[in-house]
Chain A
């Protein structure tokens, strides 16, 4: 019994949202997904949510369910950072297969006040990283880029190509935070250092937003009068390797490598059978390592590979046609779900103005913490 995604919703990203709550973004995203599926909200009997720093530290599923007027038979938190969204889709499929629920709402979102809340306890990072001047993800991913450059001889320009592609693709997406503001490689390189060798334009812009996905079984989907063709989950893989960057087994390959291999094997596809790449791109270096870990090219050769392909929405192998998170902005944990939402639009032909050429299969990734939490999905058109 395969799982089917029958509805998706995305709240357009916004830079600031004074006076709004995270709950209101979850509600907005959920309502859009239910409307997209053409079902009533009362069909939802499963709920997957993320952890919420600051607002609702405990009892998150009950709080969200109550706010939305749902009484799910299965409710849980998925806490895998940027991999939470894809991780939800696989867990929804498993819960449906186990009889825990029939139709699952996966929803993530966040508001954005001027001062972001800080997590109360982040050991071991709080104890062994923060006192040495390493707070936040930027230093962690800068360490990855330094090592990649030292080990493979990749250049600052190589990585800037990935950011420039994101900014170019974002011009096809009016809701992208960088819509109307493209940047070429020189523009990316001209942006200031944040954590050298990472430039500001190689880092996602934090935004407010929300994403939601409705998952049901293929057989239930077949009995519904859906406005859009369902998209099938045909393969998945997951791995968690560490928490602090200092404890990473490798700085040049990550847990997405076995996750993607497993997802492709389950789907019965090789990487060359994938027609669309919807890959988690919190930083240019994360996207570079993912392309290499996917087996699209040899380690260290992502820039050569890029030159051999047209990665625009109309190209031979579209990569994050909506701009990815480097183009649309990162709505905190919802950013991981945005790659699922975009792949669904592309596979069912509802990607207005940026529709890829008849892609039948997509590789979707999520990445959390310090290249340590990984989920890969293969989605296919029905």
Chain B
């Protein structure tokens, strides 16, 4: 089954002062990540210091929102009951082009079509109060 994200009523993100810009950018359809002004490496999830070099000079920068599937699972029995209506659905770890990895759900794809190495791009979907960066095949 393909996820119909608009029909979901699931636990929302829980932004902190450190992470709020990421979620605000998602509302604009932008995947905003942190980039270290000292070591130039990209950082996800957002934090107050660079985990690579401990610099606190982290700038927000728009990312390509493209990546590849590092791994995936087709969830039949969700850990949270709110996702039961969407099961079976596909959760993936994405290797972002910029280097960091993030977890998301795949949309616009049948679970049986998911593959390690699949090229994907972010698709921003309003779910309740927030906009979530899901991923779909890059085509």
Contact = CB atoms under 8 A, between A and B. Distances in A.
B103 A132 contact: yes
A195 B116 contact: no
Given A139-B79, A244-B103, A131 B73 contact: no
Q: Quick one: which of A146, A147, A192, A247 has the most chain B CB within 10 A? A: A146
Q: Which of B15, B19, B45 has the most A CB atoms < 10 Å from its CB?
A: B45
Contact of B10 (A133, A245, A247): A133
Given A133-B10, A135-B78, A150 B91 contact: no
Contacts, number: 115
Contacts of B70: 147, 251
A195 B83 CA distance: 13
Contacts of B74: 193, 195-196
Interface string B72-109: 11111111100100101101110000000111110000
Contacts of A135: 11, 78-80, 83
Contacts of A136: 79-80
A197 B11 contact: no
A196 B88 contact: yes
B11 A131 contact: yes
A146 B116 contact: yes
A94 interface: no
Nearest to B11: A130
Contacts of A244: 103
A118 B125 CA distance: 27
B77 A147 contact: no
Contacts of A192: 76-77
A195 B75 contact: yes
Contacts of A133: 10, 75, 78, 80, 83, 86, 89, 91, 105
B73 A146 contact: yes
Given A127-B19, A131-B11, A244-B103, A144 B76 contact: no
A124 interface: yes
A138 interface: yes
Interface range on chain A: under 10, 10 to 19, 20 to 34, or 35 or more?
35 or more
B119 interface: no
A146 B72 contact: yes
Contact of A127 (B15, B72, B92, B93): B15
B134 interface: yes
Nearest to A247: B101
A39 interface: no
A132 to B, nearest CB: 5
Interface string A174-217: 00000000000000000011111110000000000000000000
A145 B92 CA distance: 13
Interface of B: 10-16, 19, 45, 70-80, 83, 86, 88-89, 91-93, 101-105, 111, 116-117, 127, 130, 132, 134
- Which 4 residue pairs are nearest across A and B when measured between Cβ atoms? A136-B79, A135-B79, A142-B73, A196-B74
10 contacts: A129-B103, A130-B10, A132-B91, A133-B10, A143-B92, A151-B116, A192-B77, A194-B77, A246-B93, A251-B70
Given A245-B93, A246-B103, 10 more contacts: A127-B14, A127-B15, A131-B132, A133-B10, A133-B105, A139-B73, A144-B71, A146-B72, A150-B117, A244-B103
